[in-house]
Amino acid sequence: MSKYDKEQVLCSSGVNVLKCMRCGKCSATCPSYDEMEYHPHEFVYMVEKGQIDKLMASPSIYKCLSCYACVERCPRGVEPAKLVEALRLLVIRQQGQNHLKADDIPALLDEDLPQQAIVTALRKYSK
């Protein structure tokens, strides 16, 4: 049994995991597939099974590019990226769990890096 609540993930994401028909199109189209321990289709059935802790502990939650490919292409409207978002938020909303800290930013800058990259990374990786 997971310490964290499946219901919380479902509520935060707005996803109905039971709509999934296991076609795998989300993972097939995911640009981060090769970098992930758990892939988009696995997020769907692992949330369904309540394996929330495992997903929260996986680096996969920081590999989603939020490119909406799986959101657009899911034939059942399950939209797995929303589960990744909800799980990442469950982690970074905890005290001291930011994945990227503001103090880390100066070392990551180069003269051409657009502000868009910084604000987006902070939105995605920290609270």
Partner 1 sequence: MVFSYYPGCTLKNKAQDLDMYARRCAEVLGFTLEELPQWQCCGGAYSMAQDEIASKLAAVRALNSAKEQDRTLVTLCSACHNVLKQANHDMKENEEFSQKANNYMKLAQPYLGETKVLHYLEVLRDVIGFDEVKKHVKNPLTGKRIGAYYGCLLLRPGKVLQMDNPENPKIMEDLIRALGAEPVIYASRNECCGGYVTMEDKNLARKKSTAVMQNAAEMKADLLVTACPLCLYNLKKNTPEEGRLPVLYFTELLAEALGVKE
Taking contact as CB under 8 A, which single stretch among the options 16-24, 37-45, 46-54, 64-72 is the one that binds partner 1?
64-72
Return d(Cα 126, Cα 121) in angstroms, integer: 8
Question: Residue 61's CB: how many other CB atoms inside 10 A?
Answer: 26
| Least distance from partner 1 to the Cβ atom of residue 117, Å | 5
| Least distance from partner 1 to the Cβ atom of residue 124, Å | 6
Taking contact as CB under 8 A, which single stretch among the options 16-24, 37-45, 50-58, 62-70 is the one that binds partner 1?
62-70
C-alpha distances in Å from residue 39, one per residue of 3, 100, 110, 112, 123? 22, 22, 31, 32, 22
Q: Is 120 in the site for partner 1 (CB under 8 A)?
A: yes
Q: Is 124 in the site for partner 1 (CB under 8 A)?
A: yes
Question: Across the chain, how many H-helices and E-strands are there?
Answer: 8, 0
Judged by DSSP in three states, 44 sits in helix
Among 2, 4, 6, 12, indicate the residue that binds partner 1 (CB under 8 A): 12
Contact positions with partner 1 (CB under 8 A) in 77-116: 79, 81-82, 85-86, 89, 99-100, 108, 110, 112-116
DSSP string, 64-83: -----HHHHH-TTS--THHH
Contact 29, 68 (CB under 8 A): no
Which residues are near partner 1 by CB under 8 A?
11-14, 31-32, 34-35, 62-63, 65-69, 71-72, 79, 81-82, 85-86, 89, 99-100, 108, 110, 112-121, 123-125
